[in-house]
Amino acid sequence: MNIKGTPVVTEMMVVPVAGFDSMTMTLSGAHAPMFTRNIVIMKDSAGNTGLGEVHGGDDITKALESYKPLIIGKQIGDYRNIVQAVKRGGYLAGGNDGEGLQGLDLKNLKFVVRAETAIESALLDLLGKFMGLPVCSLLGDGRQREDITILGYLFYVSDRTKVNLPYIDESSSADPWFRIRRNVALTPEAIVEQAYATKERYGFKDFKLKAGVLEGEEEMKAIRALKKEFPDARINIDPNGAWSLNEAIRLTKDMHGILTYVEDPCGPEKGFSSREIMSEYKMATGHKVATNMIATDWRQLHHSVVSKAVDIVLADPHFWTMSGSIRAGQVLNDWGMTWGSHSNNHFDISLAIFAQTAAAAPGDITAMDTHWIWQDGQELCGESIAIKDGKIKVTDKPGLGIEIDMDRVLKANELYNKMDSHDRDDAMAMQHLIPNWKFDSKKPCLVR
Ligand code: GKR
Ligand code: MG
């Protein structure tokens, strides 16, 4: 097909980058001192620059590099066909063997991630700039809202001073949140302190606690403490499938009015799939259930819906592509279900991707996850997207509404090049806390 009238892509750069992180804890272990991402920077014949971001790792870099010949010289208006060509003809980071199991630090993550999202985003950014429209106006049925509600994503944090790893120290920062976010937080009081500091800086009204770290009872104490301090907050807990069905029921059955919903409480057990188990959990407790683990593509979504295992699907555009996430959002809304988005550590280009996708998702969407509060201050773009009053205001600027700062990108690339390994490995830092620690999908990471 020959489409006339839109600029052509003249250049595409893939830049792997790294940023600093806290020793945040999950079922998978501890976040390493640095996290990685892949950035795509495209230029077109109209002189515009388009941006994309997706997960890090050499395999994803390789996939993105392989797309170049399928993109350069093509018209940006033909972006749907370009993304198709990339899906069919590019190198595929392939094969997922970890359904329903938290294994995001292992090689599984790259199989859930859709590297082409970074291409789609950069092309939509260029097209939006050419047309003078924000990306959300080009997705699905167009813009659905003026601002996006964001939740405060709280994590337990281990004591970085007890391990000999290059975690950064921000305890002398002028900002109260920056001051505490790199420090140990393993008690209900410390989680409440995080919530206050993030509320102060970002105005959050809703919170999520990443669980699967301590015994479930301890984690419920933190949830109760949060609710006591923030009685109007919608609060959610996410152990990434760590609890058995019985345990999940025991822990949460009396938490109505305290927990608004529960995210991936259980995984597969005793020959039953995570969908069957979560459906039993829902029936037994009456809690609403969210997932980013058992509905990460259309086939999984179908089975999740048929088995009535979930109410809220966290359709991260980096897993679904932006247009795929919106298509899921439309279907969920038509079926009386709820759209939301999961996240992993990311830079501000992904924050813009989340915001533009959420802006086009129809219906009563749930507050969106973002890890940005843990990365805030490490922007790759000039004027970053702000979270104020617990919301991101959807930009009226064309495209993603952000402009890349190459000096910052090059610095983040330098950091990346100093790293020995570029793949996420949450078991690495755990060895410094608990020698010979091994991932167990049914055991909180600090319970050994
Ligand atoms: O950043 O470690 C983390 C999170 O645990 C992430 O990997 C999860 O995928 O945030 C995610 C979730 O909601 O499950
Ligand atoms: Mg989750």
239 CA to centre of ligand 2 in angstroms? 7
Residue 314: enclosing H or E segment and its boundaries?
A: strand 312-314
Residues 70 and 151 occupy one common structural domain: no
Residue 95, SS3? Answer: coil
115 & 230 share domain: no
Distance 427 CA to ligand 1 centre (A): 14
Three-point CA angle 26, 150, 402, nearest 5° = 105
Closest to 277 (Cα-Cα) out of 307, 297, 319: 307
What is the CATH number for 272? 3.20.20.120
Give the structural domain span for 74: 9-137+407-418
Yes or no: say if 365 and 312 are a contact pair by the CB < 8 Å rule. no
Sorted by sequence, the CB contacts under 8 Å of residue 28 that are 6+ apart come out as: 102, 103, 104, 105, 106, 240, 426, 427, 439, 445
Residue 428 lies in a domain: no
- The predicted-structure confidence for 59-72, as pLDDT tens digits, reads as follows 899 999 999 999 99
Instruction: Please give the number of the atom of ligand 1 that sits closest to the Cα of 153.
Output: 10
- The DSSP annotation for 5-45 comes to SS-BEEEEEEEEEEEE---BEETTEE--SEEEEEEEEEEET
Nearest CA to ligand 1 atom 3: 344
User: Residues forming the annotated binding site for Mg(2+)?
Assistant: 238, 269, 292
Is residue 118 within 8 A of residue 346, CB to CB? The reply is: no
249 located within any domain: yes
Q: What is the mean pLDDT of residues 33-49?
A: 98
* Residue 76 within any structural domain of the chain: yes
Angle (CA) 443-445-448 rounded to 5° is 70
Angle (nearest 5°) at CA 128 between 46 and 147: 150
Ligand nearest to the CA of 445: 1
> Which one of the ligands is nearest to 290 CA?
2
Domain match, 71 and 201 both: no
H-helix or E-strand spanning residue 91: none
Please report whether residue 432 resides in a domain.
no
Q: What are phi and psi of 398, to 5 degrees?
A: -65, 155
Instruction: Say yes or no to pLDDT of 111 above 90.
Output: no
- pLDDT category of residue 88 using cuts at 50, 70 and 90: confident
245-298 pLDDT, tens digit per residue, is 999 999 999 999 999 999 999 999 999 999 999 999 999 999 999 999 999 999
On whether the CB atoms of residues 419 and 404 are closer than 8 A, the answer is no
Token output for 227 = 């609710």
Average pLDDT over residues 3-11: 88
Is the pTM higher than 0.90?
A: yes
Q: ipTM score here?
A: 0.93
For ligand 1, atom 4, the nearest C-alpha belongs to 344
Span 28-37, average pLDDT: 97
pLDDT of residue 422: 93
In this structure, the answer to whether residues 203 and 71 fall within a common structural domain is no
Residue 435 falls inside a structural domain: no
Work out the pLDDT band at 1, boundaries 50, 70, 90: low
